[in-house]
Amino acid sequence: MGKIIALTNQKGGVGKTTTSVNLSACLAYLGKKVLLVDVDPQGNATSGVGIDKGEVDQCIYDILVDDVDIRPLIKETTVENLHAIPATISLAGAEIELVSTISREVRLKKSLQEIKPIYDYIIIDCPPSLGLLTINALTASDTLIIPVQCEYYALEGLSQLLSTVRLVQKHLNHHLLIDGVLLTMLDARTNLGIQVIEEVKKYFQDKVYKTIIPRNVRLSEAPSHGVPVILYDPKSKGADVYLDLAKEVIKNG
Ligand code: ADP
Ligand code: MG
Protein backbone atom coordinates (compact mmCIF):
# COMPACT_ATOMS: atom_id res chain seq x y z
CA MET A 1 0.00 0.00 0.00
CA GLY A 2 1.49 3.33 -1.05
CA LYS A 3 2.40 6.18 1.23
CA ILE A 4 1.10 9.58 0.18
CA ILE A 5 3.46 12.47 0.93
CA ALA A 6 2.73 16.13 0.18
CA LEU A 7 5.41 18.79 -0.26
CA THR A 8 3.86 21.88 1.22
CA ASN A 9 4.65 25.44 2.28
CA GLN A 10 2.54 28.40 1.18
CA LYS A 11 5.73 30.37 0.54
CA GLY A 12 6.86 30.25 -3.08
CA GLY A 13 10.41 29.48 -4.10
CA VAL A 14 11.35 27.29 -1.13
CA GLY A 15 12.02 24.12 -3.14
CA LYS A 16 8.66 22.29 -3.12
CA THR A 17 8.69 21.50 -6.83
CA THR A 18 12.41 20.77 -7.00
CA THR A 19 12.00 18.36 -4.09
CA SER A 20 8.82 16.76 -5.46
CA VAL A 21 10.48 16.01 -8.79
CA ASN A 22 13.86 14.90 -7.48
CA LEU A 23 12.62 12.95 -4.46
CA SER A 24 10.14 11.13 -6.74
CA ALA A 25 12.85 10.36 -9.27
CA CYS A 26 15.31 9.13 -6.63
CA LEU A 27 12.69 6.90 -5.00
CA ALA A 28 12.01 5.46 -8.46
CA TYR A 29 15.75 5.08 -9.08
CA LEU A 30 15.93 3.05 -5.86
CA GLY A 31 13.36 0.66 -7.30
CA LYS A 32 10.16 2.06 -5.80
CA LYS A 33 7.04 2.51 -7.87
CA VAL A 34 6.21 6.20 -7.65
CA LEU A 35 3.44 8.55 -8.75
CA LEU A 36 4.06 12.32 -8.83
CA VAL A 37 0.86 14.37 -8.56
CA ASP A 38 1.09 18.00 -9.66
CA VAL A 39 -1.42 20.18 -7.82
CA ASP A 40 0.16 23.53 -8.73
CA PRO A 41 -1.47 25.40 -11.67
CA GLN A 42 2.02 26.47 -12.77
CA GLY A 43 2.65 22.84 -13.71
CA ASN A 44 6.40 23.00 -13.10
CA ALA A 45 6.58 19.47 -11.69
CA THR A 46 4.73 18.29 -14.81
CA SER A 47 7.28 19.76 -17.21
CA GLY A 48 10.12 18.83 -14.85
CA VAL A 49 9.54 15.15 -15.58
CA GLY A 50 9.32 15.68 -19.32
CA ILE A 51 5.57 16.04 -19.87
CA ASP A 52 4.63 18.68 -22.44
CA LYS A 53 1.76 20.67 -20.88
CA GLY A 54 0.56 21.64 -24.36
CA GLU A 55 -0.13 17.98 -25.11
CA VAL A 56 -2.14 17.35 -21.95
CA ASP A 57 -5.88 17.26 -22.54
CA GLN A 58 -7.05 16.33 -19.06
CA CYS A 59 -5.25 17.14 -15.84
CA ILE A 60 -5.71 17.15 -12.09
CA TYR A 61 -8.38 19.86 -12.62
CA ASP A 62 -10.69 17.29 -14.18
CA ILE A 63 -10.35 15.03 -11.14
CA LEU A 64 -11.05 17.82 -8.69
CA VAL A 65 -13.82 19.68 -10.49
CA ASP A 66 -15.39 17.14 -12.83
CA ASP A 67 -14.76 13.99 -10.80
CA VAL A 68 -13.39 12.02 -13.79
CA ASP A 69 -11.70 8.61 -13.44
CA ILE A 70 -8.10 9.08 -12.31
CA ARG A 71 -6.56 6.15 -14.19
CA PRO A 72 -6.54 7.56 -17.75
CA LEU A 73 -4.79 10.69 -16.45
CA ILE A 74 -1.67 8.82 -15.36
CA LYS A 75 1.26 9.53 -17.70
CA GLU A 76 4.68 8.00 -18.23
CA THR A 77 7.65 10.30 -17.51
CA THR A 78 11.30 10.52 -18.52
CA VAL A 79 12.08 8.34 -15.48
CA GLU A 80 11.58 4.58 -15.26
CA ASN A 81 9.18 3.54 -12.45
CA LEU A 82 7.89 7.13 -12.19
CA HIS A 83 4.41 8.07 -13.35
CA ALA A 84 2.80 11.49 -13.07
CA ILE A 85 -0.59 13.17 -13.05
CA PRO A 86 -0.08 16.53 -14.75
CA ALA A 87 -1.35 20.00 -13.91
CA THR A 88 -2.04 22.75 -16.40
CA ILE A 89 -3.04 26.37 -16.01
CA SER A 90 -6.73 25.34 -16.12
CA LEU A 91 -6.19 24.28 -12.51
CA ALA A 92 -5.98 27.96 -11.55
CA GLY A 93 -9.79 28.11 -11.86
CA ALA A 94 -10.34 25.09 -9.64
CA GLU A 95 -9.79 27.04 -6.43
CA ILE A 96 -12.89 29.13 -7.18
CA GLU A 97 -14.99 26.46 -8.89
CA LEU A 98 -14.53 24.07 -5.98
CA VAL A 99 -16.05 26.53 -3.50
CA SER A 100 -19.58 25.50 -4.40
CA THR A 101 -18.82 21.81 -4.88
CA ILE A 102 -20.00 19.03 -2.58
CA SER A 103 -17.19 17.21 -0.71
CA ARG A 104 -14.80 19.74 -2.19
CA GLU A 105 -11.99 19.03 0.30
CA VAL A 106 -11.90 15.25 -0.20
CA ARG A 107 -11.97 14.93 -3.99
CA LEU A 108 -8.26 14.27 -4.41
CA LYS A 109 -8.23 11.83 -1.50
CA LYS A 110 -11.09 9.84 -2.98
CA SER A 111 -9.35 9.52 -6.35
CA LEU A 112 -5.90 8.71 -4.94
CA GLN A 113 -7.30 5.99 -2.66
CA GLU A 114 -8.31 4.07 -5.80
CA ILE A 115 -4.74 3.84 -7.11
CA LYS A 116 -2.83 3.88 -3.81
CA PRO A 117 -2.30 0.07 -3.83
CA ILE A 118 -0.45 0.26 -7.17
CA TYR A 119 2.33 2.54 -5.86
CA ASP A 120 4.95 2.51 -3.12
CA TYR A 121 4.94 6.31 -2.92
CA ILE A 122 2.62 9.04 -4.14
CA ILE A 123 4.27 12.48 -3.98
CA ILE A 124 2.09 15.61 -4.21
CA ASP A 125 3.53 18.99 -5.24
CA CYS A 126 1.41 21.74 -3.62
CA PRO A 127 0.85 25.28 -4.87
CA PRO A 128 2.15 28.31 -2.92
CA SER A 129 -1.13 29.01 -1.08
CA LEU A 130 -3.32 27.56 1.65
CA GLY A 131 -6.48 27.39 -0.49
CA LEU A 132 -8.62 24.45 -1.50
CA LEU A 133 -5.94 22.86 -3.67
CA THR A 134 -3.57 22.60 -0.72
CA ILE A 135 -6.42 21.50 1.57
CA ASN A 136 -7.18 18.69 -0.91
CA ALA A 137 -3.51 17.68 -0.84
CA LEU A 138 -3.31 17.71 2.98
CA THR A 139 -6.55 15.75 3.24
CA ALA A 140 -5.29 13.12 0.81
CA SER A 141 -1.88 12.68 2.45
CA ASP A 142 -0.42 10.36 5.06
CA THR A 143 2.51 12.66 5.81
CA LEU A 144 3.95 16.06 4.95
CA ILE A 145 7.39 17.29 4.04
CA ILE A 146 7.78 21.02 4.66
CA PRO A 147 10.70 22.53 2.72
CA VAL A 148 12.21 25.56 4.44
CA GLN A 149 14.73 27.73 2.67
CA CYS A 150 17.92 28.53 4.59
CA GLU A 151 17.30 32.27 4.42
CA TYR A 152 16.26 35.16 6.64
CA TYR A 153 12.62 34.81 7.75
CA ALA A 154 12.83 31.04 7.17
CA LEU A 155 10.22 30.37 9.86
CA GLU A 156 7.94 33.20 8.78
CA GLY A 157 4.52 31.95 7.73
CA LEU A 158 5.08 28.50 9.21
CA SER A 159 2.69 29.11 12.11
CA GLN A 160 -0.06 29.77 9.56
CA LEU A 161 0.82 26.53 7.78
CA LEU A 162 0.88 24.59 11.06
CA SER A 163 -2.52 25.90 12.10
CA THR A 164 -3.94 24.83 8.71
CA VAL A 165 -2.40 21.39 9.29
CA ARG A 166 -4.07 21.22 12.72
CA LEU A 167 -7.45 22.17 11.21
CA VAL A 168 -7.12 19.45 8.58
CA GLN A 169 -6.09 16.93 11.27
CA LYS A 170 -9.12 17.85 13.35
CA HIS A 171 -11.80 17.94 10.67
CA LEU A 172 -10.66 16.12 7.53
CA ASN A 173 -7.71 13.79 8.09
CA HIS A 174 -6.98 12.53 11.62
CA HIS A 175 -4.02 10.45 10.41
CA LEU A 176 -2.03 13.29 8.87
CA LEU A 177 1.52 13.51 10.25
CA ILE A 178 4.38 15.90 9.62
CA ASP A 179 7.18 13.64 8.43
CA GLY A 180 9.68 16.41 8.59
CA VAL A 181 11.05 19.80 7.78
CA LEU A 182 13.55 19.82 4.93
CA LEU A 183 16.19 22.55 4.87
CA THR A 184 16.81 23.68 1.30
CA MET A 185 19.12 25.92 -0.74
CA LEU A 186 21.83 26.09 1.89
CA ASP A 187 24.68 28.33 0.85
CA ALA A 188 27.61 26.75 2.70
CA ARG A 189 29.73 29.88 2.25
CA THR A 190 27.67 31.99 4.64
CA ASN A 191 27.08 31.83 8.38
CA LEU A 192 23.45 32.72 7.86
CA GLY A 193 22.64 29.20 6.71
CA ILE A 194 24.13 27.70 9.87
CA GLN A 195 22.10 30.10 12.02
CA VAL A 196 18.89 29.18 10.21
CA ILE A 197 19.62 25.46 10.63
CA GLU A 198 20.03 25.96 14.39
CA GLU A 199 16.87 28.03 14.62
CA VAL A 200 14.79 25.49 12.68
CA LYS A 201 16.19 22.57 14.72
CA LYS A 202 15.38 24.39 17.96
CA TYR A 203 11.79 24.82 16.80
CA PHE A 204 11.14 21.45 15.13
CA GLN A 205 13.70 19.30 16.99
CA ASP A 206 13.80 15.70 15.72
CA LYS A 207 11.35 16.54 12.93
CA VAL A 208 14.15 17.97 10.77
CA TYR A 209 15.63 15.75 8.06
CA LYS A 210 19.31 14.91 8.46
CA THR A 211 19.73 15.51 4.74
CA ILE A 212 20.15 19.21 3.99
CA ILE A 213 19.81 20.37 0.38
CA PRO A 214 22.58 22.78 -0.67
CA ARG A 215 22.37 25.26 -3.48
CA ASN A 216 23.41 23.41 -6.61
CA VAL A 217 23.18 24.92 -10.06
CA ARG A 218 22.45 21.52 -11.64
CA LEU A 219 19.16 21.42 -9.70
CA SER A 220 18.03 24.65 -11.35
CA GLU A 221 19.24 23.61 -14.82
CA ALA A 222 17.66 20.15 -14.98
CA PRO A 223 13.98 21.28 -15.31
CA SER A 224 14.60 23.02 -18.65
CA HIS A 225 15.74 19.63 -19.99
CA GLY A 226 12.59 17.89 -18.70
CA VAL A 227 14.55 15.49 -16.51
CA PRO A 228 15.33 15.20 -12.78
CA VAL A 229 18.91 15.85 -11.72
CA ILE A 230 19.66 12.13 -11.32
CA LEU A 231 19.36 11.83 -15.12
CA TYR A 232 20.68 15.29 -16.01
CA ASP A 233 23.90 14.99 -14.00
CA PRO A 234 24.07 11.81 -11.89
CA LYS A 235 27.45 12.79 -10.44
CA SER A 236 26.31 16.19 -9.19
CA LYS A 237 25.91 17.19 -5.56
CA GLY A 238 22.20 17.71 -6.28
CA ALA A 239 21.78 14.08 -7.36
CA ASP A 240 23.73 12.95 -4.32
CA VAL A 241 21.65 14.79 -1.74
CA TYR A 242 18.28 13.89 -3.22
CA LEU A 243 19.35 10.23 -3.20
CA ASP A 244 20.22 10.66 0.48
CA LEU A 245 16.80 12.20 1.10
CA ALA A 246 15.06 9.34 -0.71
CA LYS A 247 16.92 6.83 1.48
CA GLU A 248 15.95 8.78 4.60
CA VAL A 249 12.30 8.84 3.50
CA ILE A 250 12.37 5.06 2.91
CA LYS A 251 14.02 4.50 6.30
CA ASN A 252 11.34 6.57 8.03
CA GLY A 253 8.81 4.04 6.74
P1 ADP B 1 8.64 26.16 -5.01
O2 ADP B 1 8.07 24.99 -5.71
O3 ADP B 1 8.60 26.05 -3.52
O4 ADP B 1 8.07 27.47 -5.49
P5 ADP B 1 11.02 25.60 -6.59
O6 ADP B 1 11.37 24.21 -6.31
O7 ADP B 1 10.30 25.90 -7.86
O8 ADP B 1 10.22 26.22 -5.35
O9 ADP B 1 12.38 26.45 -6.51
C10 ADP B 1 12.41 27.84 -6.79
C11 ADP B 1 13.60 28.13 -7.71
O12 ADP B 1 14.81 27.80 -7.07
C13 ADP B 1 13.57 27.33 -9.00
O14 ADP B 1 14.05 28.13 -10.03
C15 ADP B 1 14.53 26.17 -8.73
O16 ADP B 1 15.14 25.70 -9.92
C17 ADP B 1 15.53 26.80 -7.80
N18 ADP B 1 16.06 25.84 -6.82
C19 ADP B 1 15.36 25.06 -5.98
N20 ADP B 1 16.17 24.33 -5.18
C21 ADP B 1 17.44 24.67 -5.54
C22 ADP B 1 18.75 24.28 -5.08
N23 ADP B 1 18.90 23.40 -4.08
N24 ADP B 1 19.82 24.82 -5.68
C25 ADP B 1 19.67 25.73 -6.68
N26 ADP B 1 18.49 26.16 -7.15
C27 ADP B 1 17.37 25.64 -6.59
MG1 MG C 1 6.42 24.91 -7.02
What is the pTM (predicted TM-score) of this model? 0.97
Q: How distant, in Å, are the alpha carbons of 27, 71, 253 from that of 87?
A: 21, 15, 28
Q: Which atom of ligand 1 is nearest to the CA of 128?
A: 4
Q: Which ligand is nearest to the CA of 38?
A: 2
Q: Which atom of ligand 1 is nearest to the CA of 185?
A: 23
User: Quick one: pLDDT band at residue 110, thresholds 50, 70, 90?
Assistant: very high
Q: Is the CB of 163 under 6 A from ligand 1?
A: no
How far does residue 223's CA lie from ligand 1's centre (Å)? 10
Closest C-alpha to 242, from 69, 48, 41, 64: 48
Per DSSP, the three-state class of 164 is helix
pLDDT tens, 134-164? 999 999 999 999 999 998 888 888 999 999 9
pLDDT value, residue 153: 84
Per DSSP, the three-state class of 87 is coil
Number of folded domains that form the chain = 1
pLDDT value, residue 99: 86
The CATH number that applies at residue 152 is: 3.40.50.300
Task: Tell me which residue range forms the domain holding 10.
Answer: 3-251
Which of 220, 227, 240, 245 is the best mutation target for the ligand 1 pocket, counting ligand atoms within 8 Å of the beta carbon and taking the most?
Answer: 220
Angle at 179 between CA 173 and CA 180, to 5 degrees: 130
Residue 116 has pLDDT above 90, yes or no: yes
pLDDT value, residue 193: 87
